[in-house]
Amino acid sequence: MIGVTVLGATGSIGVSTLDVLARHPDRFRAVALTANTDAERLAAQCRQHRPQYAVMVDPTAARRLGELLADMPDRPEILTGVEGLEQVSALPEVGYVMAAIVGAAGLRPTLAAARAGKRVLLANKESLVVAGALLMQAAADSGAELLPIDSEHNAIFQCLPPNFSDGLDRVGVRRILLTASGGPFRDWPLDRLSSVTPEQACAHPTWDMGRKISVDSATMMNKGLEVIEACWLFGTDTDHVQVVVHPQSVIHSLVQYEDGSVLAQLGNPDMRTPIAHAMGWPERIDSGVTPLDLFAVARLDFQEPDFARFPCLRLAFESARAGGTAPAVLNAANEIAVAAFLDRRIDFPGIAAVVEGTLEALPRESVAGQGLEFLLDVDRRAREQAEHLVLVRG
């Protein structure tokens, strides 16, 4: 029986993870579930899955969770704060940690899981964007397994040979092709983008995701962050990663080889597939996902991304090439800008403008030999600068 901690249990990835976990009660058990503020949903999950620990990052929400579970005979031990997240990520009875907290907030517990030698099911791409060198080194030192949950990176993982860590060039890989839906505005006239509302940006055409990730998909910043993530996970650089707009979201990514072969992973757009793959790997286990009907799909379309339409994707490529602190600044500024857009303080094009302005305002610094506190300070300074730019635009 494998113990599992689910970081971000009340989000869409967390809910899907618990669905897969419940399909295999003889194989997995929930040891710890965590959430930020949604005490009601976490309480319901605790009653269903009976974890030993529950973590609420927000102290007020933690007290509310205690009230909601007061009559539960075997109620979990309730922990609070980032310290609680780190604790349940490194428990000796836990083998797998689903890292599904959105944004840089997931960095500390994800790093704790890697340092503790866990199988880290990585749905928190920001951990690699902000602190890729630290996370990869922690995994190498402890023997932790980093298995990608993003559908694109999981697809690439499935299409690569087992010895890809020897170097992609040594196993005959020419490049990685990351697919992207293009979001809801891929065909809008550019002069209409300033009128985009948060509701429109969150209405993703194929995936059911949280609000922040939905906006990132609409700007294609999500794909830009995934480019940086792919470089870390697969030991490559941006010259060997190409983004392909694929509106149907049926091909989740592809790998092109030197002999002309292109391998692709296909499936219905349901996150339970990559979750089940990572939980069962190297075996295949049931995910509950409906099999793909190619006759219903009927056609597959591909387009080259337009950097004029998607300036956030351009900024992500530029940050990846610049290296150093640039990716951390990019991520922090984007989190502030997206929150401001969702609060209607800036318009949709303002997201890219705030991110670009923050990158221009802060000097790029080397991260060689630097630790987590340095990166967190970079993150803080970038957020402050981005907030200033939001106020200026407002």
On the 0-12 / 13-18 / 19+ scale of CB atoms within 10 A, 306 is middle
Higher pLDDT: 258 or 106? It is 258
Which residue positions form the known binding site?
10-13, 124-126, 150-152, 181, 204, 210, 217, 222-223, 226
Q: Rounded mean pLDDT of 198-221?
A: 83
Tokens 């499935």 belong to residue: 158
Are 81 and 105 in contact, with CB atoms under 8 Å apart?
no
CATH superfamily to which 2-148 belongs = NAD(P)-binding Rossmann-like Domain (3.40.50.720)
Annotated binding site for 1-deoxy-D-xylulose 5-phosphate: 125, 151-152, 181, 204, 217, 222-223, 226
Q: Would you list the domain boundaries of the chain? A: 2-148, 151-314, 323-394
- Quick one: DSSP state of residue 113? H
Alpha helices in 143-253 (DSSP H): 151-159, 198-201, 211-219, 221-234
What is the arithmetic mean of pLDDT over 195-217?
Answer: 83
DSSP string, 187-212: TS-GGGGGG--HHHHT--SS----HH
Residue 103 scores a pLDDT above 80: no
Answer yes or no: same fold for 2-148 and 323-394. Answer: no
In whole angstroms, give the CA distance from residue 373 to residue 307: 34
* Mean model confidence pLDDT for the chain: 95
Residue set of the binding site for Mn(2+): 150, 152, 226
* pLDDT reported for residue 204: 65
Query: How do residues 368-391 score in pLDDT, each as one tens digit?
Result: 989 999 999 999 999 999 999 999
The band of 206, judged by pLDDT with boundaries at 50, 70 and 90, is low
pTM (two decimals): 0.92
Classify each residue of 178-187 as buried b or exposed e, where b means 16 or more C-beta atoms within 10 Å of its C-beta: bbbbbbbbbe
For 97, the token pair is: 């940690």
In the sheet with 173-180, reading across from the earlier edge strand, the strands are 241-245, 173-180, 251-257, 262-266
pLDDT tens digits, residue range 262-316? 999 999 999 999 999 999 999 999 999 999 999 999 999 999 999 999 999 999 9
* Bridge partners, residue 34, by sequence: 55
Looking at the predicted structure, is the pLDDT value of residue 154 above 80? yes
Selected from 3.40.1160.10, 2.60.40.60, 1.10.1740.10, 3.40.50.300, the CATH number assigned to the domain covering 323-394 reads: 1.10.1740.10
Nearest to 105 by CA among 246, 208, 7, 224: 7
Weakest mean pLDDT among 35-49, 108-122, 174-188, 195-209: 195-209
Please say if the pLDDT value at position 209 is more than 70.
Answer: no
Q: Cβ atoms within 10 A of the Cβ of 249, count?
A: 18
Mean pLDDT computed over 113-128: 94
Side chain identity at residue 360, one-letter code: E
Q: Band of the pLDDT at 126, cuts 50, 70, 90?
A: confident
Q: Residue 210 above 80 pLDDT?
A: no
pLDDT digits (tens, 9 = 90+) for 8-31: 999 999 999 999 999 999 999 999
What integer is the mean pLDDT of 230-255? 96
**Could you tell me which residues are annotated as the binding site for NADPH?**
10-13, 124, 126, 210
Instruction: State residue 205's pLDDT score.
Output: 63
